[in-house]
């Protein structure tokens, strides 16, 4: 029979020694050179700009890249300083980030999730990028956000409008400055009620992927709440080029509003086709037929040409905004590139500055420190007016623009006119809203690598 | 009733583009035996001929406006097209307005030249190679052409509107006592496609050149033994096929704004059209083009998509499978084409 000398004190002692042993490597690593992924050790820090440089959104990606380059210039104290002059946080001094010169590498998302992940991975692993910013598709944003979470770097999303990015797919390392489908619908609905009335029958054509479903669900819920009837919702393949066979049934459906939940080339073609069929001249149910495009971009407006006259939509930002931040950004961008900035350019510029500012305020590049600095951060002076980075879901809350295709544009950039600036309070929702993953949606924990 | 007629018209319209591209593909395959995956790119280049002429006619000079300001608050640079300054505002703007139909005159020689360069410069070196090699090289060429266009014109679609007089909606049903409104330009497109198809058939049927080409398609060796330079005629047929695809593209520009990948969007479907119609059969390509266009339109109706979800995305391939199972050579395919 064996005898064991097991005592309560002995167990506690052994546990304490074992615990310290397990914790030791972590303590060492925390103070060693590899405290977190891609910790900058030299005199510079590298940011990764992942934008569509090829594929159908290449022009949008190019605009994002111009804005990101401008942001880097301003961070390094070059140029006119841009929004560093108007930003309410005064942590940025124009001497890089935390005294380190800002450098950047670029990747091509091709607007394909796998290609975008591969280019982000390469920038993180080979180039040592400490933050990834950019993109113009929700599918891509969600994929890259997931990758950044695993890799332990911060993802500052570019143009992504699906509710899921900061909804069911939200991540602790991911942050979105751009607005979302719910906000578009919440801002548009009152204007649509005022301009088109509460008694309307809407027919939806919806791009058959995550953003399209999200957009359709949001706008249908908001318009039905004010009394509109949704006659039909037809899902159109993303690869569709000619929408005539989808447009024709609208004419016989009794609908008096067509909602095009399309983006990019899909939107340009479906709107062009709808105009070809004379929809804007039709009178149905004794009302003028109307078309609504919930999400607008300047490049889409340019592609659609004269067809967008009188068509309602929403935007995250428009260069015609007259606040100090916007005026400064338009001046810096316009003087350097000879054109006003787009929606997507502004969000990437703001995100790059916000990231740098958070590093300065946190005093570290450690993603968990940066995330903490961004959470609940309130600011102004970057072009959108007062903005809050909500801690619960990492979504920015700010005013939303309701716009309309200009009736008499005076120049090629004047294609959209701002109908209303909807206050942030009107588009704010609970973090556990059912459209955003409900109670189950969680950021998870921050990953520093 | 009018809903059905509308979808038939939509189908004829889509079918017109399919038929024109498939006709060119079949001409090339029938004469030179090459499976040309760059044919969609020719359609795209045709559309960009319209864009180029529109831009050329809209070339402007700048004057500084005393009263208006640009987006930065500087005096606005007002652009006036040269044609408006030379011919007066009314005539000048009419010339710009009619730039798409005028592009036909530009597109024919340009497309034939592109076709000749393509065939003489690259494709002729692959005649004796396997079909797989031909597909790879022509597909690669398509990507190169696409990227060149994107470099110069960008990735964004470019609006190329039809003339104002042909932009509205025509009430086709007025003659029969019911309402059937259809875009005028789409009717023009269908009529134009029918004219081009008729022209190609007439050329092959009623000219000596066409007769020799048809004989060459049936038995190249014998025609060669008769002392006729069939290769040169086939090269010209390649150029004609390129022009047909280009014209289809020019007239398509106002229907959907051209972008650099529009050729790829049509290419795969056009190949299905060729296979369904029967490899090497010109009437088969035209028939299958219109038939699949109409079927695709009906499959996109609400009724069809709610009855069988996703039918709009698979209908063409479904029909291709059924046709190939029941008629392995396609609807009008000849024995011996692409068979050992």
Alpha-carbon separation of residue A295 from A201, A419, B153, B256 (angstroms): 20, 14, 25, 20
Question: Measured in whole angstroms, how far is the alpha carbon of residue A49 from the centre of its chain?
Answer: 14
Q: Which residues pair with A154 in a beta bridge?
A: A131
Q: Which residues pair with A249 in a beta bridge?
A: none
∠ CA B107-B264-B291, rounded to 5°: 85
- Residue A28 is predicted with a pLDDT of 39
Return left, alpha or beta for B265; rule: phi > 0 is left, psi -120 to 50 is alpha, else beta. alpha
Give the total residue count for chain A: 449
For helices A244-251 and A265-276, give the axis angle rounded to 10 degrees: 50
Nearest to B78 by CA among B89, B88, B64: B64
Nearest to A260 by CA among A285, A288, A236: A236
Q: Cβ distance A238 to A56 under 8 Å?
A: no
CB contact (8 A) between residue A249 and residue B301: yes
Which residues in chain B have Cβ-Cβ distances shorter than 8 Å to A246?
A: 300
- Rounded-to-5 percentages of helix, strand, coil across chain A: 45, 20, 40
Q: Does B2-57+83-326 carry CATH code 1.10.3470?
A: yes
- Could you say which of A265, A276, A304 has the minimum Cβ distance to residue B185? A276
Partner A contacted by B186 (CB < 8 A): yes
Q: Which residues, numbered 411 to 430 in chain A, qualify as contacts with chain B under a Cβ-Cβ cut-off of 8 Å?
A: 411, 413-414
Partner B contacted by A331 (CB < 8 A): yes
∠ CA B117-B120-B124, rounded to 5°: 135
Q: Cβ distance B246 to B46 under 8 Å?
A: yes
From the candidate CATH numbers 3.40.50.2300, 3.10.310.50, 3.40.50.300, 2.30.110.10, the one assigned to the domain spanning A44-179+319-398: 3.40.50.2300
- Could you say which of B68, B161, B301 has the minimum Cβ distance to residue A245? B301
- Residue B308 is predicted with a pLDDT of 86
Residue of B nearest to A307 (CA): B159
Per-residue pLDDT of chain B (340 residues; tens, 9 = 90+): 677 888 899 999 999 999 999 999 998 888 888 888 999 999 999 999 999 999 999 999 988 887 877 888 788 888 889 999 999 989 999 999 999 999 999 999 999 999 999 999 998 898 888 888 999 999 999 999 999 999 999 888 898 999 999 988 888 877 777 778 899 999 999 999 999 999 999 999 999 999 998 888 888 888 888 888 888 898 999 999 999 999 999 999 999 999 998 998 888 888 899 889 988 888 999 999 999 999 989 888 878 878 888 888 889 899 999 999 999 888 888 766 555 5
B334, HSE (Cβ side, Cα atoms, 13 Å) = 11
- Residue A284 is predicted with a pLDDT of 92
Q: Cβ distance B138 to B24 under 8 Å?
A: no
Residue of B nearest to A53 (CA): B155
Global pTM? Answer: 0.84
The ranges of chain A with pLDDT < 70 are: 1-34
Question: pLDDT (tens digit, 9 = 90+) per residue, A166-216?
Answer: 999 999 999 999 999 999 999 999 999 999 999 999 999 999 888 899 999
**Which residues are within 8 A (CB) of B333 and not within 5 positions of it... i.e. 6 or more apart?**
B277, B278, B279, B280, B281, B284, B327
Question: How many Å apart are CA B198 and CA B294, to the nearest integer?
Answer: 20
Q: Cβ distance A333 to A67 under 8 Å?
A: yes
Q: Cβ distance A188 to A420 under 8 Å?
A: no
Return left, alpha or beta for A254; rule: phi > 0 is left, psi -120 to 50 is alpha, else beta. left
Partner A contacted by B301 (CB < 8 A): yes
Predicted ipTM of the assembly: 0.85
Q: Cβ distance A79 to A333 under 8 Å?
A: no
**Which residues are within 8 A (CB) of A194 and not within 5 positions of it... i.e. 6 or more apart?**
none
Q: Which residues, numbered 92 to 131 in chain A, qualify as contacts with chain B under a Cβ-Cβ cut-off of 8 Å?
A: none
Nearest to A317 by CA among A351, A292, A336, A343: A343
Q: Which residues, numbered 27 to 86 in chain B, qualify as contacts with chain A under a Cβ-Cβ cut-off of 8 Å?
A: 68, 70-72, 76
∠ CA A87-A89-A92, rounded to 5°: 85
CB contact (8 A) between residue A269 and residue B158: no
Q: In this structure, are strands A396-397 and A174-175 parallel, antiparallel, or unpaired?
A: unpaired
Which residues in chain B have Cβ-Cβ distances shorter than 8 Å to A253?
A: 302
**Is the Cα dihedral A198, A200, A205, A209 positive or negative?**
positive
- Residue A34 is predicted with a pLDDT of 60
**Which residues are within 8 A (CB) of A293 and not within 5 positions of it... i.e. 6 or more apart?**
A259, A260, A262, A267, A271, A308, A311, A312, A313
Q: Which residue has the tokens 């360069």?
A: B117
- Residue B338 is predicted with a pLDDT of 56
- Could you say which of B13, B168, B300 has the minimum Cβ distance to residue A246? B300
Q: In what order do the strands lie in the sheet with A290-295?
A: A229-236, A201-207, A257-261, A290-295, A312-315, A400-405, A416-422
Q: In what order do the strands lie in the sheet with A387-389?
A: A377-379, A387-389, A396-397
Partner A contacted by B160 (CB < 8 A): no
- Residue A261 is predicted with a pLDDT of 95
**Is the Cα dihedral A275, A280, A283, A289 positive or negative?**
positive
H-run or E-run covering B261: none
For residue B162, the 8-state DSSP code is P
Which residues in chain A have Cβ-Cβ distances shorter than 8 Å to B70?
A: 411
CB contact (8 A) between residue A246 and residue B265: no
Question: How many Å apart are CA B13 and CA A247, to the nearest integer?
Answer: 14
Residue of B nearest to A413 (CA): B71
Q: Which residues pair with B228 in a beta bridge?
A: none
Question: Measured in whole angstroms, how far is the alpha carbon of residue A245 from the centre of its chain?
Answer: 32
Distance from CA of A126 to the nearest CA of B (A): 28
Domain ranges of chain A: 44-179+319-398, 182-315
Q: Which residue has the tokens 């180039």?
A: A127
- Residue A302 is predicted with a pLDDT of 83
Q: Cβ distance A101 to A76 under 8 Å?
A: yes
Which residues in chain B have Cβ-Cβ distances shorter than 8 Å to A248?
A: 3, 6-7, 10, 297, 301
CB burial of residue B232 (10 Å; 0-12, 13-18, 19+): exposed
Distance from CA of A204 to the nearest CA of B (A): 12
**Is the Cα dihedral A160, A162, A167, A171 positive or negative?**
negative
Domain ranges of chain B: 2-57+83-326
| Same fold across A44-179+319-398 and A182-315 | yes
CATH topology of domain A182-315: Rossmann fold (3.40.50)
Nearest to B104 by CA among B258, B253, B234: B253
Which residues in chain A have Cβ-Cβ distances shorter than 8 Å to B72?
A: 330-331, 334-335
Residue of B nearest to A339 (CA): B71
Return left, alpha or beta for A100; rule: phi > 0 is left, psi -120 to 50 is alpha, else beta. beta
């Amino acid at each position: 029979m064996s005898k064991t000398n097991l005592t309560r004190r002995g167990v506690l002692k052994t546990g304490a020694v074992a615990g310290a042993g397990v914790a030791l490597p972590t303590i060492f690593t925390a103070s060693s050179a590899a405290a977190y992924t891609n910790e900058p050790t030299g005199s510079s820090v590298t940011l990764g700009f992942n934008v569509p440089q090829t594929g159908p959104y290449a022009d949008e990606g190019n605009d994002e890249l111009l804005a990101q380059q401008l942001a880097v210039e301003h961070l390094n104290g070059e140029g006119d300083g841009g929004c560093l002059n108007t930003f309410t946080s005064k942590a940025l001094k124009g001497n890089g980030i935390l005294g380190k010169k800002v450098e950047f590498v670029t990747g091509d998302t091709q607007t394909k999730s796998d290609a975008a992940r591969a280019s982000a991975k390469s920038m993180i692993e080979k180039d040592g990028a400490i933050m990834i910013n950019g993109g113009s598709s929700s599918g891509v944003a969600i994929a890259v956000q997931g990758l950044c979470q695993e890799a332990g770097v911060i993802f500052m999303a570019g143009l992504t409008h699906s509710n899921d990015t900061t909804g069911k797919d939200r991540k602790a390392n991911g942050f979105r400055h751009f607005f979302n489908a719910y906000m578009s619908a919440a801002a548009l609905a009152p204007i649509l009620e005022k301009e088109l009335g509460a008694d309307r029958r809407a027919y939806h054509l919806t791009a058959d992927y995550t953003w399209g479903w999200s957009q359709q669900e949001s706008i249908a819920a908001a318009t039905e709440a004010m009394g509109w009837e949704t006659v039909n919702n037809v899902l159109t393949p993303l690869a569709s080029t000619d929408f005539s066979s989808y447009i024709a049934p609208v004419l016989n459906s009794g609908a008096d509003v067509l909602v095009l939940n399309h983006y990019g080339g899909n939107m340009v073609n479906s709107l062009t086709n709808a105009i070809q069929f004379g929809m804007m001249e039709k009178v149905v149910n004794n009302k003028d037929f109307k078309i609504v495009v919930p999400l607008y971009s300047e490049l889409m407006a340019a592609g659609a040409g004269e067809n967008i006259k009188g068509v309602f939509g929403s935007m995250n930002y428009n260069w015609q905004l007259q606040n100090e931040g916007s005026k400064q950004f338009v001046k810096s961008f316009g003087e350097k590139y000879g054109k006003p900035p787009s929606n997507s350019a502004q969000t990437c510029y703001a995100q790059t500055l916000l990231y740098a500012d958070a590093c300065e305020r946190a005093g570290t590049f450690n993603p968990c420190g940066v995330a903490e600095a961004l959470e609940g951060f309130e600011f102004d002076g970057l072009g959108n007016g007062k903005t809050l980075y909500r801690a619960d879901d990492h979504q920015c809350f700010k005013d939303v623009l309701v716009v309309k295709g200009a009736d008499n544009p005076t120049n090629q950039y004047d294609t959209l006119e701002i109908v209303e600036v909807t206050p942030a309070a009107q588009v704010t929702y609970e973090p556990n809203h059912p459209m955003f993953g409900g109670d189950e949606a969680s950021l998870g924990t921050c990953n520093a690598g | 009733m009018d809903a059905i007629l509308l979808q038939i018209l939509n189908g004829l319209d889509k079918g017109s583009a399919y038929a024109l591209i498939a006709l060119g593909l079949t001409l090339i395959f029938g004469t030179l035996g090459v499976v040309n995956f760059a044919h969609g790119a020719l359609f795209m280049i045709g559309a960009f001929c319209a864009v180029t002429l529109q831009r050329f006619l809209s070339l402007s000079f700048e004057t500084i406006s005393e009263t208006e300001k640009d987006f930065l608050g500087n005096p606005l640079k007002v652009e006036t097209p040269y044609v408006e300054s030379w011919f007066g505002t009314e005539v000048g703007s009419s010339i710009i307005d009619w730039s798409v139909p005028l592009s036909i005159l530009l597109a024919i020689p340009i497309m034939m030249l592109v076709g000749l360069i393509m065939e003489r410069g690259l494709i002729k070196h692959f005649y004796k190679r396997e079909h797989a090699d031909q597909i790879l090289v022509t597909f690669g060429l398509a990507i190169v052409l696409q990227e060149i266009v994107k470099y110069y014109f960008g990735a964004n679609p470019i609006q190329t509107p039809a003339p104002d007089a042909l932009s509205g909606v025509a009430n086709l049903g007025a003659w029969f006592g019911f309402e059937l409104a259809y875009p005028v330009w789409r009717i023009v497109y269908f009529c134009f496609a029918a004219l081009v198809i008729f022209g190609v058939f007439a050329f092959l049927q009623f000219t000596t050149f066409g007769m020799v080409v048809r004989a060459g398609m049936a038995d190249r060796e014998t025609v060669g033994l008769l002392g006729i330079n069939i290769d040169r005629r086939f090269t010209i047929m390649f150029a004609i096929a390129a022009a047909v695809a280009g014209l289809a593209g020019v007239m398509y520009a106002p229907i959907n704004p051209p972008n650099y990948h529009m050729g790829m969007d049509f290419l795969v479907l056009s190949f299905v059209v060729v296979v369904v119609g029967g490899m090497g059969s010109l009437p088969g390509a035209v028939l299958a083009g219109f038939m699949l266009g109409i079927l695709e339109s009906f499959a996109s109706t609400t009724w069809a998509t709610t009855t069988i979800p996703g039918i709009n995305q698979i209908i063409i391939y479904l029909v291709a499978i059924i046709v190939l199972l029941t008629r392995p050579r396609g609807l009008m395919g000849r024995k011996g084409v692409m068979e050992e």
